[in-house]
Amino acid sequence: MDRPVTYDFAGKSVVVTGAARGIGRTIAERFAAAGGAVVVADLNESDAQQAAAEICEKGGKAAAFAVNVADSAQVSTLMEFAKQEHGGLHVLVNNAGVSTTKIIEETTEEDWRRVVDINLTGPFLTCKAALPLLRAAGGGKIVNVASVAAKRISFNASANYTASKAGLLAFTRHLAYEAAPDNINVNAICPGPVLSPMQFNTASPETMRERVGSVPMGRLTSTDDQADAVLFLSSSAASMINGAAIDVDGGSLLGWYDVATYFERRHATRAGGA
């Protein structure tokens, strides 16, 4: 989906983790389209290189960097790369994340640690390494990509994912408080159900109807919907928003069951005279 360039990030250096595919890829593309110099950081080096190359082919400025965000040495090298390649850092987007689909009794300690390491420890490491660069730039923006699971539970992933995303929101609030005196805004977005090619191709028609039915706005969110929120929070328009967690979910957190059932029960209640 093509969107008009709403914000101007010319002269800004942006690091996006987990940027080779999905939400992260769209975020990287949108920053580049708005003039930003983007580091496409991802565990998969070949995918990151392809994403960066395609951004450059469209006239954007991007460079790829392979990184495991749970490795502090690799994260430090990533920030040094951003400094050398693009002159510093102005925006950090922590999007890298993984999940499993096991119930708690089936979740191994290895499963738990892997998800928490990447989803929660990873943002801690990248933020810690980014702070000196953001401070040197006179301030900047950090946006952490959490999930509506952080405020409820995940219906598609496991407890380790839910816990890691809830922890990420708490970390976002705390870092926002500590970084504010340096003119650094730290916020998060909480994506709801996202329509991705993988989901569209693998979910049954019944499952797709159920997922759409849980969203009052009547459709699943897109990667562009998520990128819209990230670019807003990274712009000067959000200069006084700090420590917030914006739900980008079409209202899916507002109810307890699907929209059709809600209205059926309301109609039944009225018919009964209550």
DSSP E strands in 26-147: the ranges are 37-42, 61-66, 91-94, 140-145
End-to-end Cα distance, the chain: 46
Are 78 and 39 a contacting pair, CB within 8 Å? Answer: yes
C-alpha torsion sign, points 108, 113, 118, 119: positive
Distance CA 199, CA 25 (A): 16
Q: Mark whether 7 is an active-site residue.
A: no
Q: Indicate if the alpha-carbon torsion angle 122, 68, 133, 144 is positive or negative.
A: negative
State the catalytic residue, choosing from 7, 161, 257, 262.
161
> Distance of CA 274 to CAs 59, 260, 261, Å?
61, 20, 18
d(CA 94, CA 18): 8
Which residue from 66, 73, 70, 11 is spatially nearest to 39, judged by alpha carbons? Answer: 66
Q: Strand pairing partners for 41?
A: 17, 65
Q: Are 187 and 234 in contact (CB under 8 A)?
A: no
CA distance 19 to 178: 27
Determine the Cα–Cα distance for residues 7 and 74; give it in Å rounded to an integer. 31
SS3 116: helix
Among all residues, which ones are annotated catalytic?
Answer: 161
